[in-house]
Amino acid sequence: MALAVFYTLTLAQAATLSRYPYLQNVASDQATVMWATLESGSGSVRYSLDQKTWRTVTARIRAFLPAQTGLVFTFYQYEADLSPLSPATDYYYQVLVDGAGIADGTGTIIQPIRFRTAGPGPFNYLAFGDSGINSTEQRTLAAMMMREPNVSLVVHTGDIAYLHGTFQEFQSNHSDIYGNSSPSLNGNMMRSLPFFLTPGNHEYYTPDWTLFPYLSLHSFPKEGVPAADANYYYSFDWSNAHFVSLDANLKESFEPNEQWKVRAVTPLTSAINGDGYMLKWLEQDLAGSRKFWRIVFFHQSPYAGGNNASDPAGKAFRDYIAPILDRHEVPLAMNGHEHSYQRSKPIRNHLAVAAGEGTVYITTGGGGYALYPLTPPSLVGDVSAYAEKVFHYMRVEVQPYQTTVRAIRIDGKEIDRLTLAPKPRVDAAVNAASFTPALSPGSLFSIFGRYLAADEGQAQSLPLPTQFPGMGVTLNGYPLPLLYVSSTQINAQLPFDMKGAATLRVTTSNGLSEIPVNIADVAPAIFVASTDQGQFPAVLHADGTLVSPSAPAKTGEVVLIFLTGLGQVNGQITCGQAAPASPPLTVTAQVQVEIGSGSRLSPEFAGLAPGFAGLYQVNVQVPPLAGGNHTLRIIAAGSSSNPVTLAVASASQ
Ligand SMILES: [Fe+2]
């Protein structure tokens, strides 16, 4: 006991906390912990699943000098990355300086703090903006948000620290309000919930220091963002949602008396000028995501009415960013800048469209700074669905197939609610190997569209499942076996006993979508295998290795060609089942193999690949050929497959 008391006293004197520990960049496999002290020390974070077994990581330390911050003291900022972590898991962390815990402002050692990593399933997040002025309203809303149950993360739509985004203002108008540990104040959200921020214009009004407080005080996801723009914009995944934070600032839109010295040109300005990355990055980032929900947040308001309605940044957004959100069918966008709550109708091409289409823009700018009037009204057509000049925050509940957006007024009343439940939409059904519309019985095919499945899923065993959570696929009402599902693509198998015109239907919890398909007798198409050395046709040597220019086929050897689309088989098998091995099932169609311009060869075997569903295999002996590349085709019932290139060894090899 005596030792413990001594230990505590030592710790209390070890370092003076200037910023309480806060979480950044939490993902399914990692988290970053940051804090600051007035004295330099050796920082580390220990973390644990059960508070019994601990792992410790060293923190990076960075000194912030008065000349860089405008503060009268030097502070030391610590940053530690906790990785690898497990998804959807509770962890405890405790910050240490010189190996000991540190005390908060009341002299109490900060005890281990619990947080949870990202993972699958429903989750809730809070969103607000235009908050950082240390007003009564800001503090009231902060206290309300801290009482919100089951929250995973917080999105801030910018203008975090009025008036000039200084270090002092980030401390007094942001960290001290959402990250304060004093029981007499609100509590502390920032220690257990990651804040994902976006820069407002006021963040940019920082004086001419060498450090930009908005960037210096935070750690955001950096993956895929060019180094020159790191932290200005970023994206991350949480469950089945893909979040994107954009920097929507346009330097040209600022009043002449405002400082703007942290960056000569904003990411948006450079992108518009053609020498910046953000718009290209956004296009690629959204194209690369298979998440059901895509939620884009930024500061300036493209469609809301109010004091900033004529801000050139809003027009720049409409001209350059909104078309990208349109193209990628982003269902939900959130911004601030107008100090009010406003919800747009779903918008596409600047016009209101039907529910379930387009993008809903939520303006949440009532986080604490003085409110603005709602007029002039929305700028482009009649796109306003709801508007109220009110202090508020947002609670967003993300379910697999539905998202509910709620606006909570400062008096606790829910003033607006919107549920997004996008219906599935099938755009095309194509051969899984050739990506052409040619389909045939028993074959593998791919469905492309949007909102097809809430989550990515992969069949784990045979026979293949015919359903994934909340969704299924039928052909003329017959449930199809599924290999892979996602929001944008499904890979499935067709039945062996259906031909001709048919109706393909994808059904989810939100509705259904159908397209007509035509199933021919055969539709042969050879698969392509992707390897580190490049893409090669799925042709194997007898030992299972891939035929390639570095391992060419030899005259006389039997190679195994993998394809789909050879149609019906001799014998009974149900789609979705593993094909038998002894004996394997042969196809009914006549199959020939054409290598080079030579005559057509009869294969040794043409049938279902044993152990797989929907995969066909043709075994053929390589005829005498000159060394080099030869075109290979499979002909089934007179119908030719896609041509692929077969590497053949010269006689001396
Ligand atoms: Fe603003």
> How far does residue 614's CA lie from ligand 1's centre (Å)?
56
* Domain end position, chosen among 119, 143, 173: 119
> How far does residue 351's CA lie from ligand 1's centre (Å)?
24
- Report the domain count for the chain: 4
What CATH number does residue 625 fall under?
2.60.40.10
C-alpha torsion sign, points 327, 333, 336, 339 = positive
> How far does residue 116's CA lie from ligand 1's centre (Å)?
31
- pLDDT tens digits, residue range 579-619? 999 999 999 999 999 998 777 999 999 999 999 999 999 99
Examine residue 475 and state whether it is found in any structural domain, yes or no: yes
Question: If pLDDT is split at 50, 70 and 90, which confidence band does 1 have?
Answer: very low
pLDDT at 456 over 80: yes
For 32-49, what is the mean pLDDT? 97
For 5-32, what is the mean pLDDT? 77
Looking at the structure, tell me whether residues 461 and 429 fall in a common domain. Answer: yes
> How far does residue 234's CA lie from ligand 1's centre (Å)?
20
Question: If pLDDT is split at 50, 70 and 90, which confidence band does 10 have?
Answer: very low
* Domain end position, chosen among 119, 143, 178: 119
The pLDDT, as a whole number, for residue 9 is 40
Residue 389, amino acid: K
Examine residue 360 and state whether it is found in any structural domain, yes or no: yes
Beta strands in 442-533 (DSSP E): 444-450, 457-458, 467-468, 471-475, 478-479, 482-485, 489-493, 500-508, 511-519, 525-526, 528-531
Residues in the chain: 653
> How far does residue 339's CA lie from ligand 1's centre (Å)?
8
Examine residue 60 and state whether it is found in any structural domain, yes or no: yes
pLDDT at 181 over 80: no
> How far does residue 5's CA lie from ligand 1's centre (Å)?
49
The pLDDT, as a whole number, for residue 259 is 64
Question: If pLDDT is split at 50, 70 and 90, which confidence band does 261 have?
Answer: low
Question: If pLDDT is split at 50, 70 and 90, which confidence band does 184 have?
Answer: low
Looking at the structure, tell me whether residues 583 and 469 fall in a common domain. Answer: no
Q: How far apart are CA 597 and CA 352, in angstroms?
A: 58
> How far does residue 76's CA lie from ligand 1's centre (Å)?
30
> How far does residue 408's CA lie from ligand 1's centre (Å)?
21
Question: If pLDDT is split at 50, 70 and 90, which confidence band does 446 have?
Answer: very high
Looking at the structure, tell me whether residues 163 and 108 fall in a common domain. Answer: no
> How far does residue 304's CA lie from ligand 1's centre (Å)?
13
> How far does residue 143's CA lie from ligand 1's centre (Å)?
23
What CATH number does residue 64 fall under?
2.60.40.380
For 318-340, what is the mean pLDDT? 98
Question: If pLDDT is split at 50, 70 and 90, which confidence band does 519 have?
Answer: very high
> How far does residue 420's CA lie from ligand 1's centre (Å)?
27
Looking at the structure, tell me whether residues 616 and 543 fall in a common domain. Answer: yes
> How far does residue 338's CA lie from ligand 1's centre (Å)?
7
Examine residue 653 and state whether it is found in any structural domain, yes or no: no
Give the list of residues 6+ apart from residue 378 with CB closer than 8 angstroms, or none.
303, 304, 305, 342, 344, 384
> How far does residue 372's CA lie from ligand 1's centre (Å)?
11
Looking at the structure, tell me whether residues 572 and 608 fall in a common domain. Answer: yes
pLDDT at 570 over 50: yes
> How far does residue 418's CA lie from ligand 1's centre (Å)?
25
Q: What are the backbone dihedrals phi and psi of residue 320, each rounded to the nearest 5 degrees, phi first?
A: -115, -30
> How far does residue 158's CA lie from ligand 1's centre (Å)?
7
> How far does residue 166's CA lie from ligand 1's centre (Å)?
15
Residue 295: Cβ within 10 Å count? 24
The pLDDT, as a whole number, for residue 653 is 60
Half-sphere exposure of 169 (CA within 13 A, CB side): 21
> How far does residue 373's CA lie from ligand 1's centre (Å)?
14
Please state the pTM of the whole predicted model. Answer: 0.93
Examine residue 88 and state whether it is found in any structural domain, yes or no: yes
**Nearest by Cα to 621 from 542, 551, 524, 550:** 542
Looking at the structure, tell me whether residues 63 and 141 fall in a common domain. Answer: no
The pLDDT, as a whole number, for residue 85 is 98
**Nearest by Cα to 526 from 608, 650, 644, 647:** 644
Looking at the structure, tell me whether residues 303 and 384 fall in a common domain. Answer: yes
H/E segment holding residue 47: strand 43-48
> How far does residue 589's CA lie from ligand 1's centre (Å)?
68
Looking at the structure, tell me whether residues 397 and 511 fall in a common domain. Answer: no
> How far does residue 386's CA lie from ligand 1's centre (Å)?
20
> How far does residue 202's CA lie from ligand 1's centre (Å)?
6
> How far does residue 215's CA lie from ligand 1's centre (Å)?
17
The pLDDT, as a whole number, for residue 223 is 87
> How far does residue 230's CA lie from ligand 1's centre (Å)?
21
> How far does residue 382's CA lie from ligand 1's centre (Å)?
23
Query: 3-class DSSP state for residue 190?
Result: coil
The pLDDT, as a whole number, for residue 377 is 66
Work out the percent of the chain whose per-residue pLDDT is above 90.
87
Residue 303, amino acid: Y
What CATH number does residue 224 fall under?
3.60.21.10
> How far does residue 272's CA lie from ligand 1's centre (Å)?
20
- pLDDT tens digits, residue range 296-306? 999 999 999 99
> How far does residue 326's CA lie from ligand 1's centre (Å)?
24
> How far does residue 201's CA lie from ligand 1's centre (Å)?
5
Question: If pLDDT is split at 50, 70 and 90, which confidence band does 12 have?
Answer: very low
- pLDDT tens digits, residue range 307-317? 999 899 999 99
Contact status, residue 110 vs residue 104, Cβ threshold 8 Å = yes
- pLDDT tens digits, residue range 492-513? 999 999 999 999 999 999 999 9
Looking at the structure, tell me whether residues 146 and 223 fall in a common domain. Answer: yes
Q: How far apart are CA 320 and CA 272, in angstroms?
A: 7
> How far does residue 161's CA lie from ligand 1's centre (Å)?
10
Rounded to an integer, what is the distance from CA 310 to the centroid of its chain? 32
> How far does residue 204's CA lie from ligand 1's centre (Å)?
10
Rounded to an integer, what is the distance from CA 464 to the centroid of its chain? 27
Question: If pLDDT is split at 50, 70 and 90, which confidence band does 255 have?
Answer: low
The pLDDT, as a whole number, for residue 652 is 66
Residue 24: Cβ within 10 Å count? 20
Question: If pLDDT is split at 50, 70 and 90, which confidence band does 533 have?
Answer: confident
Question: If pLDDT is split at 50, 70 and 90, which confidence band does 7 have?
Answer: very low
Burial class for 156, CB neighbours closer than 10 Å (0-12, 13-18, 19+): buried
* Domain end position, chosen among 119, 148, 181: 119
> How far does residue 248's CA lie from ligand 1's centre (Å)?
10
> How far does residue 207's CA lie from ligand 1's centre (Å)?
17
**Nearest by Cα to 467 from 481, 478, 456:** 481
> How far does residue 452's CA lie from ligand 1's centre (Å)?
37
Q: CA angle, 629 as apex, 626 and 633 as ends, to 5°?
A: 105
> How far does residue 369's CA lie from ligand 1's centre (Å)?
10
Looking at the structure, tell me whether residues 489 and 435 fall in a common domain. Answer: yes
Looking at the structure, tell me whether residues 324 and 227 fall in a common domain. Answer: yes
pLDDT at 651 over 80: no
Q: How far apart are CA 519 and CA 512, in angstroms?
A: 21
**Nearest by Cα to 246 from 198, 196, 291:** 198
> How far does residue 154's CA lie from ligand 1's centre (Å)?
19
Question: If pLDDT is split at 50, 70 and 90, which confidence band does 14 have?
Answer: low
Range of the domain at 273: 127-420
pLDDT at 172 over 60: yes
> How far does residue 157's CA lie from ligand 1's centre (Å)?
9
Examine residue 512 and state whether it is found in any structural domain, yes or no: yes
> How far does residue 496's CA lie from ligand 1's centre (Å)?
61
> How far does residue 604's CA lie from ligand 1's centre (Å)?
72
Examine residue 186 and state whether it is found in any structural domain, yes or no: yes
> How far does residue 22's CA lie from ligand 1's centre (Å)?
25
Q: To the nearest whole number, what is the mean pLDDT of the chain? A: 93
Identify the residue whose tokens are 């509770």: 90
> How far does residue 70's CA lie from ligand 1's centre (Å)?
23
> How far does residue 337's CA lie from ligand 1's centre (Å)?
4
Looking at the structure, tell me whether residues 252 and 322 fall in a common domain. Answer: yes
> How far does residue 159's CA lie from ligand 1's centre (Å)?
5
